[in-house]
Structures are given as structure tokens and as C-alpha cells.
Amino acid sequence: MPSPQLPNYLRCNRKRLALSQDEVAFLLGVQSGAKVCRDERFVREPSLKTALAYEAIFEKPARELFNGLYQEIEQEVVDRAKKLARKMDHLNPTRQNTRKLQVIAKIVGRSNATIN
């Protein structure tokens, strides 16, 4: 069984670069380190703009910085893809429908790849 992921890895990346919360806040363009503290504790999810700013600061993809959240969202997408595949199972085998089913199967296949 895979080990549970933290909702985010902001604090360890900030520490790795020896930056204070106030310094990261300055780089983000916000007033104080309190916002960084809230983000690190995952009191709330940061905006896309903030997540991309963290990516620029820490030079890590947002999906790595927010790995726990990413895995949760990915699983939700996989679950919805399974439902969509069942709904589309009865469609006529046109080229477009075949392509759609291939895309959905690829998404569903991610759940098997992350489990192993």
C-alpha cells in the first residue's frame, strides 16, 4: 500500500532553500508570512496563481508541491472517468466515440499504475 502523501510540501521546500515565511511571502507578492503559514498548514487551498508562484520559487512542479491534493483530485477524476466509460459503453463504434473511449481508458488506467 502506498504511503499517504502530505497535502503539500511547501514547508520542506521552503526549509530546503533556507527561506523564512516572510521572505516567501515577499516573493509571492503578499503582505506577510501569515499567508504562507496558512498555505503550509493547508488551512485553505491556494489559488492557481499562488500555486504557480510556489512552483517558480521552489523550482518544483505544482503537482509535486501539492502531491497529496493532486493524488486526491486524480483519484476523483479516475472515478468519474469510470462512470463516464460505463455511460458511453453502449455508443455506436464511430471513430470519434472510439477515440473518446481510448482517452477515458487511459485516464482509468492511471488508477492501476498508481496502485502498483
Residue-wise pLDDT for 34-89, tens only, equals 999 999 999 988 999 999 999 999 999 999 999 999 999 999 999 999 999 888 88
Nearest Cα to 76, choosing from 40, 110, 41? Answer: 110
HSE value, Cβ hemisphere, 13 Å, CA-based, for 71: 14
Is there a contact between 68 and 7 (Cβ–Cβ < 8 Å)?
yes
Is there a contact between 88 and 100 (Cβ–Cβ < 8 Å)?
yes
* pTM as predicted: 0.79
Say which CATH architecture domain 10-65 belongs to: Orthogonal Bundle (1.10)
Domain range summary for the chain, segments of one domain joined by +: 10-65, 75-115
Tell me which amino acid residue 72 is. Answer: E
